[in-house]
Amino acid sequence: MRTPPILDKEVRRKRLRFLGESFAGCWIVLLLGFSGYVLHFNSAPVGFLFLLIVVAEAILCGFWQATIVSVTAAACLDFFFYPPMLTLNIGDPQDWVALGAFELSALVVSRVSSREQRSSREATTQRTAMEQLYELSRSTLLINMHQAPGPQLAQLIQRIFLVESVAIFDANSGKSDAAGEWGEDERDLAKECYFLHADDEDPLTRTSMRVLRAGQSSVGAIAIRGSLSSLVIDALASLAAITLDRCVSFEKESQIEAAHQSERLRAAVLDSLAHAVKTPLTAIQTATSGLREVGPLNDSQAQLVSLVEDESNQLSQLCTRLLQTAKLEADELSLHRDEIAVTDLVSRVLREQSGRMGSHPVEVTLPDSSLTVRGDSELLSMALVQFLDNAAKYSFAGEKVKVAAWESHSEVMISVHNFGPPIPIADRERIFQRFYRSEGSKGMAGGTGIGLSTVKMAAEAHRGHAWVISDADQGTTFFLSLPQVGRRSD
């Protein structure tokens, strides 16, 4: 296989450097040897000078260059200073002793020097890596959180660590971003690393791949091409994972805050609307009551007046629910903490709803008449009215509505059961959100989606819970749990 031109050039450069360093050392030895011979020095000071040159060569250049200089120094001593003068006698024991001393010195000094240089390089590399990691951590705190983090992070890593290429896969957005040059078959290295969920190294291309882990979950992956140590790459991957995770948290917080602001604005609008409707509504109710006092009404007129009264009462209830919902969300409603007998609460609500249950008979099961809760009678009545209203709206014609209350551990459970279309599992939590209505129930009866959200907030205001279970065979049951505070003596 032919050597690549770049590698061939590097080999030639190293060879030339080796020859140049060896020649320089040998030239100095020859110059000192000739000068000592001309000045009639004996072999001792010249040998000491040769030893210093060998040691310097070993420190500055390396063992093999020092070896060549050692051989040259031993030959100079023999040629210029050992009799017969100006004759090279390789068999002289003095030559071998000098050569051995020079070689031993070169070996020891070159090893010590190499170890110290390696330690110095490692320390410099570690210090540089720490400075780069610190700069990256500081820079990631300043990235624009309103833009995609992948491109910003890839560019920061390439600029700070001076690597050839960086690719980042962000699992939150599902996008891969890159900085530097990547081949067509390398664009998805980070994405593949994420889905394989395994770190990898490619020494041939000097490419390292790491899964970005934040805690127990993976938030993406990174691929880096460059000369970085594994420890630096691991630390860099940890910083990248923290940055991506922080961006995801910021995005979620922004969405939640936007939703809260939207909800607050909507609640404020509905609150203002409810207050604005209350005044003309009161006037309508007063006018309809006055119509009956004007004089006798025929059947058509009486029906119209009754219709206006019924619709205005429903509208009044809707306004009341809107106002109570707004107050509950704003924590502005002061609850009356009265002891309420559950039997009295159920009886009163059933009396109020008796004309609104239509063709649905009501069955009440209250095995324990001493059950008592502490709370706001108006809010709890409103919650139970809403359950009964839902049961009447969404029951099949003529089906019975069952109301029950019982003790469960330290709670009082109140349930309203009806038989009608089942509520899908996906909607059983969402129907307690304001303005949400299940797709299957929209065609059966009119509604605003406010009532059940008010029930949930009223239950939570009393430190209770509201939920529903639904089945096509068993029907639908709404539950309200409230803390029990004591028993009423009969």
- The pLDDT of residue 1: 43
What is the CATH T-level fold of the domain 144-252, as seen in this structure? Beta-Lactamase (3.30.450)
pLDDT value for 414: 93
pLDDT tens profile 418-450: 998 888 888 888 888 876 776 655 555 555 566
**Domain extent listing, the chain:** 5-129, 144-252, 256-329, 338-487
Mean pLDDT of 225-254: 88
DSSP label of 334: P
147, 214, 158: which is closest to 181 by C-alpha? 158
Fold of 256-329: Helix Hairpins (1.10.287)
Three-state SS at 471: strand
Reading the block at residue 117, the tokens are 């240089």
Chain segment 260-312, per-residue pLDDT in tens? 776 665 666 566 666 566 667 777 777 777 777 766 777 777 777 777 877 77
Calculate mean pLDDT across residues 45-74. 82
pLDDT above 50 (res 362): yes
Residue 398, phi-psi category: left (phi > 0), alpha (psi -120 to 50), beta (remainder):
left
User: What CATH number is given for 338-487 in this structure?
Assistant: 3.30.565.10
Of 22-26, 323-327, 461-465, the poorest mean pLDDT is in 323-327
Rounded to two decimals, the pTM is: 0.47
Asked if pLDDT for residue 415 goes beyond 90, the answer is yes
Distances (CA, A) of 155 to 134, 163, 179, 490: 16, 10, 6, 78
Q: Residue 440 has what pLDDT? A: 57
Q: Which residues contact 165 (CB under 8 A, 6 or more apart)?
A: 158, 178, 179, 180, 181, 182, 223, 224, 225, 226
**256-329: same fold as 144-252?**
no
Residue 410 has a pLDDT of 82
- The residue among 151 and 126 whose pLDDT is bigger is 151
Look at residue 417 in the predicted model and tell me its pLDDT: 94
| Residues of the chain above pLDDT 90, percent | 12
Q: What is the mean pLDDT of the chain?
A: 81
**Rounded mean pLDDT of 128-137?**
86
- pLDDT, mean of residues 189-193: 89
| 464-477 confidence digits (pLDDT tens) | 999 999 988 889 99
pLDDT for position 477 = 94
pLDDT interval class at 73 (50, 70, 90)? confident
